[in-house]
Amino acid sequence: MLFKLYRALEKNTLIALFMFLGFNAMARGPMSNIDANSSFIVYYGDEFYLNVQGSPDTWQLNIATLEKLSAFDVVVLQPNQPHMTPEVIAQLKERGVDYVLGYISIGEDFIDDAVESPLAGGSGMMRYDSNTGQLVATTDNNLRSFYVDVDTQTVTYVNGTVDTVTTEERLKPDGKPDYNPIFKGYMVNPNDTWRWVIDNMRIGTQDVAGRSRKAGLRQLAGMRDVTQLRNRSTNFGFDGFFLDTIDTAGPYNGAGWYPWTVDEMRDTVKFISDSYPDKIVFANRGAFYFTAGLKSPVTEEYSIDFSIRPYINAFLFESFRYDSEPGDNEVDGVTEYYNENRFNVAPKVLAEANREDGFTVFSLEYESGRSGIVDDAFEKGTEMLGFVGYLASGRELNTFDFDFINKINLMTDDLTPPTWDTTGSVAYNQPSGEPRVGVQAVETDFENGTLTVQWDIAVDRSYPITYDIEARDELTGQIFTYSNVDFKQVREWNYSPGEFSANEYVISNLPTGARYNIRVIAKDAVGNANEDDQGQSVLFSAIESVSNPLNSGAIQLDGLLNEWTSLVGFASDADDVVGVSPEGHISGSGNQANWRNIKLAHTDSTLYLAYENQTNIYISWGFQLFLDTDQNKDTGYQQGHAGLSSLPIGADYMIEGVNVYRFNPEGTTWATMWELSPASQGYQVGRIWSGNTGEVFFPLTWIGSPQKGIDFIAVGVNAFYGHPNEFDFYPDDAGSGNFFRYSLDN
C-alpha cells in the first residue's frame, strides 16, 4: 500500500506541475505511470456486495472483492452488472487504484431480446447494396439509421433471448437488422445517431427511450454524487472508458465484419476523445487500425488511413497468445494464430504505440484450462514486448488471477537493451523474417541541406523507446550525434511495410561535403542502449551530374576532341590536394598519369569517353576508371585502393588501360577480383590519342547495359611509370567521398 500511495502522490505532483506550466496533463498519449511493471485486470463479475436481497441501503460491501481489485493498478469493470454502483469506484480509488475504467460497447447494440428490441422511431436502417458495394439508407422500415442489414441470417431463440445466429449467405440482405453471429449483439454503423445514444443512455431512466439497462458515456464519466453512491442511475465517476466491439469495423469479408463502418467507428472514438478530454480512452481490439499494409478486399481501403491512434491512451491486444477457448489446432496451448499476432500485427501496433501521440499496449491472455503457461505468457508478452499484461482464469472474466502480479513482484531492474524487430512481415500467419537492424535507408537532399534517415522498430520491456542517430565522418572520424530524435511515421510504410520502414528523421544541420556512416541507436526508458547497427555509408555532397546523348556518328574518332567542345564535361582536376609527392600535390614531377578532365557521351548502344591528361597520354594500366553501374555503393568493389581507405562508390566495372573488367565478389586477390567483362569476349576498347588527349569507346553491353546512369571516379597509378605510391584522383576529393555521375537518360 505504501508503494501505491507513493505512486498516487507522484502522479498528482506531475499533474499539478503540468497544469502550472500550462499543459493539458490529460492530453492523449500513453497512460501516465503505467508500464510493464504495472498490473491490470478486466473484471466483469458482480460480487461487490453481500446480502443483496434487500434494498441497496442494506447491502454490505464485499471487502474481499474490493481488496482483491485494489491490488491492481488499472481495473476495468462492467457497469451494467446489477450490483455495480458508484460506491465501488469510490472505494477502489480510496484504496489506491490508479485507473478505474468503465466498459461500453460502441460497435454492437447489446440488448435482452426478451424485454428489449431494436430502437424504432428512425428514418430506416442501412442496407448493403450489391450494385454499389456500399451501405445505403432504406425507407421500408422505421429503425434507427445505425442498424445494418448485410447478410441473410437464421436466428433461434430460447425463452425470448437469442440463442444462436447462423449466417446463411454473405452480402445478401434479408430485410432484418444483422446480429453478431458470435456475441449476439445487433451490428452497428456508429453514426451520429448512435453516438447520441451511447452518450445519453442511462441505467434506470428513459433519457434514451427504450434503453434503460445500459450506462452511457455521460453516466460513466460524470462526477459521483457522494450522497447517492448506491443509486445506479446516478453518475459513476469512472476515470475513463473501456471501448469494446471496435473490431466489428474490421476490413475482412466475413460474417461479423463490417468494413464499411471503419470511418464512422474512427469518428466515434474521436467523438469520445473530444467530448471527454480529461478521461482515459482505452480501446479493446481493433488492431487493424494500426496494421500497415492491411487493405480491405471489400472496400479497397487501408484501415490505417482511419487510424484511431490520436484519440486513445491505451489499446488491448486481447488473446495475443492464448485464445479465450483452446482450439483444436493449438500446440502446447498456444493459439494457432500466434504467428499472425506476434510477427505480423504486434510489431506494427508497437510501432504506432511508440509514437509521440501513441498509447500504452495491454494484453489479455486466458488460462481457460491450460496448464503450465504462466511463465511463457509473461515472458512473451510482458518481458519481451513490454505489454501491461493480465492472465485471466477463464473467458467469463469474473474471477481474480494474481499470477502476473506475483511475477511482476519478482522482476529485477531492466538491464537489457532493446532488440531490433521488424514490421516487414506481411504474409498471413507466418513466422517473421530477419529483424531490421538499425538504418534501413538514407535519402539525401543536398540542395536543401537535409538527410532523411529511415529505420524500423526496436522492442523492449521499458517504453518509450527513443532513438539516437550518429553520423560519423568517414574521413576525419568526427561524430555528429542527434539524441532522442523527434521521429515521424514513414508515409509509404502505411501501404507497403514490406518495402518501407516505420520511422524516419530529417537531419537538417549536418555539414556537407563529406561521406558519413549513419547509424541508429535504440534506447529504452531506463537508458539501456542497443548499438548493433553497423550503419550505412552515404555521400552528403553535391554530385556533379551531366548527360550527353548523341546520334550515331556524332563523334569523329581522332583523339583531338574538337567535336567535344560543345558537350558538357565535369570540373577540371586542379591537383590541389596535398598528397605523398614532395611537390605538394598528388601527381608529382614525372608522373604521367595526371588527370585533367573527362567527358562522357553515349548513343543507345555505345559509351564514348574523352580523356585529357596533364602531359602526353599513353593509355596504359596506369589509367583506371571505376564504374558504379547500379549507382549503389553497397554493391561492387568498395575496398581501399591507390592510397584510398575505401572507394566512394561500389565499383561494378573497371576500365584499366585498354580492357574492361567486371568485379567478382568471390575473388580474394586483385587479379581474381577483376575478371575481363564476359560481354567483351576478350576484345579491347576502341581508342585513339594525340598528345595529351585521347578517345575511348566500347559497347554499353560490356558494362551490363546500365539503365539509369554511371557513378565513377578516375585513378592515376604512376607505378606504371616508375613512381610507386604516386596517385592522382579525379575528382580530387574522391578521398572525401566525392564522385561524378553520368546520366544515360536520353
3-state DSSP: the chain helix, strand, coil percent, rounded to 5?
20, 30, 50
What percentage of the chain has pLDDT greater than the value 90? 76
Q: Is the pLDDT of residue 379 over 80?
A: yes
Would the pLDDT of 115 be above 60? yes
pLDDT at residue 580 greater than cutoff 50: no
Please list, in sequence order, all residues whose beta carbon lies within 8 angstroms of the beta carbon of residue 683, skipping any fewer than 6 positions away.
Answer: none
pLDDT, residue 19, reads 33
Give the whole-angstrom CA distance, residue 701 versus residue 382: 57
Q: pLDDT tens-digit profile of 252-272?
A: 999 999 999 999 999 999 999
Model confidence at 600: pLDDT above 80: yes
| DSSP string for 11-70 | HHHHHHHHHHHT--TT-SSSPTT-STT--EEEE----SEE-TTS-GGG-EE-HHHHHHHT
The class level of CATH for 439-540 reads mainly beta
Helices (H), 224-261: none
End-to-end CA distance of the chain: 76
The pLDDT score that the predictor gives to residue 2 is 31
The residue extents of the domains of the chain are 40-107+191-411, 112-187, 439-540, 544-743
Q: Would you say 658 and 684 are in contact if contact means Cβ atoms under 8 Å apart?
A: yes
Confidence of residue 575 (pLDDT cuts 50, 70, 90): low
**The one-letter amino acid at 74:** V
Confidence (pLDDT) at 592: 78
pLDDT band at 514 (very low <50, low <70, confident <90, very high): confident
Could you check whether 40-107+191-411 and 544-743 share the same CATH topology? no
| Domain 544-743 class in CATH | mainly beta
Q: Which residues contact 291 (CB under 8 A, 6 or more apart)?
A: 303, 304, 344, 345, 348, 349
- Identify the helix (H) or strand (E) that includes residue 611: strand 606-613
| DSSP of 324-381 | SS--TT-BTTB-TTHHIIIIIIHHHHHHHHTSTT--EEEEEEE-TT--S-HHHHHIII
Residue with cell 558537350: 567
Read off the pLDDT band of 723 (50, 70, 90): confident
- Is the predicted pLDDT of residue 207 greater than 90, yes or no? yes
Instruction: Summarize pLDDT for 673-693 with one digit per residue, the tens.
Output: 999 999 999 999 999 988 889
CA distance 566 to 258: 66
Q: What is the pTM of this model?
A: 0.79
Beta bridge partners of 599: 610
What is the grid cell recorded at 173? 440482405
Judging by beta carbons within 10 Å of its beta carbon (0-12, 13-18, 19+), is residue 377 exposed, middle or buried?
buried
**716: its cell numbers:** 592515376
Class of the CATH domain delimited by 40-107+191-411? alpha beta
Return d(Cα 233, Cα 214) in angstroms, integer: 10
Average pLDDT, the chain: 91
Higher pLDDT, 284 or 19: 284
pLDDT in tens, 440-484: 999 888 778 899 999 999 999 999 999 999 999 988 899 999 999
- What pLDDT does 27 receive? 60
Average pLDDT for residues 614-634, to the nearest whole number? 89
Statement: residue 168 has pLDDT above 90: yes
d(CA 336, CA 506) in angstroms, rounded, equals 41
The three cell numbers of residue 442 are 538514407
pLDDT at res. 433:
80
Report the SS3 class of residue 198.
helix
Question: 742 and 545 in contact (C-beta within 8 Å)?
Answer: yes
The sign of the dihedral angle between the CA atoms of 290, 296, 299, 300 is positive
Question: Lowest mean pLDDT: which of 105-119, 166-180, 527-541, 585-599?
Answer: 585-599
The pLDDT of 100-112, averaged and rounded, is 96
pLDDT of residue 265: 98
pLDDT band at 14 (very low <50, low <70, confident <90, very high): very low
Three cell numbers written together for 723: 613512381
Whether pLDDT at 652 is above 80: yes
Handedness of CA 22, 26, 30, 35 (dihedral sign): positive
Q: What sign has the CA pseudo-torsion 454, 460, 465, 470?
A: negative
